[in-house]
Structure formats: structure tokens, C-alpha cells
């Protein structure tokens, strides 16, 4: 093939041809990392968890199912992200709101980005009629907060949220405080239950705050306030 080309027209545009070696050099291929976004299609099968919620507000339990999608499976970038939420109950009192809420939450899950705020937002909803105590002395300000709590536990299970477990040393300190407190009161409480006279901790919403040596200490989360 000849390299000479005769040009009969006016040259209006041109570009410099790069040497072949330069042209063909490509960046080493990195596998594409899939992030959560609204166009991620739903696989046929999702893994998830169902949480049973029993409240004093209704005779019927509430079942919250959260299904997850696994992105980039079998790679270093494998992540498990919540994809959809369903709530079922025999109690149909709040049906339309519950359905609306689950649809909005599912949509937020699928948008991607940081979705952990959902748990925080829902947990902060207070029922004007007043909340209730769960077994173990934890206060639930509303049914919506309970749904937020289930989402939070789920996010902790799949590693999206760090669980705020106390260290063994912290647990030991609290156990000693509790023993000391009970001895001073001449009472004992069942394992897993907090002293009868404990007050509500505003950090973890557990009736586990005791007054000792001029300080309020939460036997559940360790929150402490003196003076």
C-alpha cells in the first residue's frame, strides 16, 4: 500500500496521527465496581431477615422483612446492601401508612449512598399518645421508632452500621457498679433486668440509670452524668 495520497481539495481539518504503539497502549483493566443506584435490577433471589415486633399497642405482632442485594459478589468489593422492606401484620389499623412507609424506605434503599440515616430518623419519631417499654426496660417512643430500631439491628447484622457493643472492661465496671448499688439498696434484680428504681437513660432509652456517688450512671450503655 502506498503512503502517498494526493489531495485535490482544500484542507480544512487535520489531526496528527500518533505512533501506533502509543495508540494501542491501554490502561490495565480494573473490574468495574457496582454501586447501589436506582437502576440496579432486582435479582430473582434476595437474602434477608424477618424481625418480629410485639408491641403493647396491638394483640397482633408485626413482621418486618428486609431483603438485601449482594453487589460485586465473590470479589474484594463484595457488599451487602438493603434493597427492600416489607411489613406484615394481621392488624390492619395503620395499613395505608405502613405500606406508604415501606415503599418510600425501599425507594431510598435503592437510590444508594448512605442509607443509615433512615434508622436514626425513624427512631426519633415520638408518638404523641406516648410510647411504651419493651422487655428489658427499653423505651420505644412509637411504632415508627420500632421499625427504625429493626432497620438499625439489620444494618448492624449486615455490617452497614457499627454496633456499639461495650468492651469487656466497660461491662465489668458496670456489673460492679450494679452490684454495689444493689448492695446499698439491699435488693437484687434478675439477670438481664435493671434495678426497679432505675430511671430512663436518654441516650439508649433504657430504664437503667442509677444514682451513685452523686453521678447518674446507665447500667445499659454506660452513659454517665455527674452533678
Interacting stretch for Zn ion, rule CB under 5 A, among 61-69, 123-131, 178-186, 212-220? 212-220
What one-character-per-residue DSSP string does 119-170 give?
Answer: HHHHHT---TT--EEPTTSBEE--HHHHHHHHHHHHHHHTTSS---PPPHHH
Site for Zn ion contains 203 (CB under 5 A): yes
Binding flag, residue 223, Zn ion (CB under 5 A): yes
Query: Which one, of 190, 194, 189, lies nearest residue 207 by Cα?
Result: 194
Cα–Cα distance for residue pair 87/101, rounded to 1 Å: 9
Binding status of residue 220 toward Zn ion by CB under 5 A = yes
**Which region, judged by CB under 5 A, interacts with Zn ion, from 35-43, 49-57, 67-75, 195-203?**
195-203
Between 69 and 221, name the residue whose CB sits nearer to Zn ion. Answer: 221
CB of 200 to Zn ion, least distance (A): 9
For residue 210, state whether it binds Zn ion (rule: CB under 5 A).
no
Q: Which three cell numbers stand for residue 173?
A: 465496671
Q: Write down the least CB distance from residue 68 to Zn ion, Å.
A: 29
Q: Which residues contact 182 (CB under 8 A, 6 or more apart)?
A: 188, 189, 195
Coil/strand/helix, residue 201: coil
Q: Does 125 bind Zn ion (CB under 5 A)?
A: no
- Residue count of the chain, please give it: 227
Rounded to 10°, the helix 143-157/95-111 angle is 30
Could you tell me the smallest distance in angstroms from the CB atom of residue 220 to Zn ion? 5
For residue 35, the minimal CB distance to Zn ion (Å) is 36
Q: Could you tell me if 101 and 147 are in contact, meaning their C-beta atoms sit under 8 angstroms apart? A: yes
Candidates 70-78, 88-96, 116-124, 217-225; binding stretch for Zn ion (CB under 5 A): 217-225
Work out whether 218 is an interface residue with Zn ion (CB under 5 A): yes
Smallest gap, in angstroms, from Cβ of residue 106 to Zn ion?
Answer: 32
Q: With binding defined as CB under 5 A, does residue 204 bind Zn ion? A: yes
**String marking each residue 53-82 x if it binds Zn ion according to CB under 5 A:** ------------------------------
**Under 8 Å CB-to-CB from 199, ≥6 apart: which residues?**
207, 209, 210, 211, 216
Question: Which residues make up the interface to Zn ion (CB under 5 A)?
Answer: 201, 203-204, 218, 220-221, 223
Amino acid at each position: 500500500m502506498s503512503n502517498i495520497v494526493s489531495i485535490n481539495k482544500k484542507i480544512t481539518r487535520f489531526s496528527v496521527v500518533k505512533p501506533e504503539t502509543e495508540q494501542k497502549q491501554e490502561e490495565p483493566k480494573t473490574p468495574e465496581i457496582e454501586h447501589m443506584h436506582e437502576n440496579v435490577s432486582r435479582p430473582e433471589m434476595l437474602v434477608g431477615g424477618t424481625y418480629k415486633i410485639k408491641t403493647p399497642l396491638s394483640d397482633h405482632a408485626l413482621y418486618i422483612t428486609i431483603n438485601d442485594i449482594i453487589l460485586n459478589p465473590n470479589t474484594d468489593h463484595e457488599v451487602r446492601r438493603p434493597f427492600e422492606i416489607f411489613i406484615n401484620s394481621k392488624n390492619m389499623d395503620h395499613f395505608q401508612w405502613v405500606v406508604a412507609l415501606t415503599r418510600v424506605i425501599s425507594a431510598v434503599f435503592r437510590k444508594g449512598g448512605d442509607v443509615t440515616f433512615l434508622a436514626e430518623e425513624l427512631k426519633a419519631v415520638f408518638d404523641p399518645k406516648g410510647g411504651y417499654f419493651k422487655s428489658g426496660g427499653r423505651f420505644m417512643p412509637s411504632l415508627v421508632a420500632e421499625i427504625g430500631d429493626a432497620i438499625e439491628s439489620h444494618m448492624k447484622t449486615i455490617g452497614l452500621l457499627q454496633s456499639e457493643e461495650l468492651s469487656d472492661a466497660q461491662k465489668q465496671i458496670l456489673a460492679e457498679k450494679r452490684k454495689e448499688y444493689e448492695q446499698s439498696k439491699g435488693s437484687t434484680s434478675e439477670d438481664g433486668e435493671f434495678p426497679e428504681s432505675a430511671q430512663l437513660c436518654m441516650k439508649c432509652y433504657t430504664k437503667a440509670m442509677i444514682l451513685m456517688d452523686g453521678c447518674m450512671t446507665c447500667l445499659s450503655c454506660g452513659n454517665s452524668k455527674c452533678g
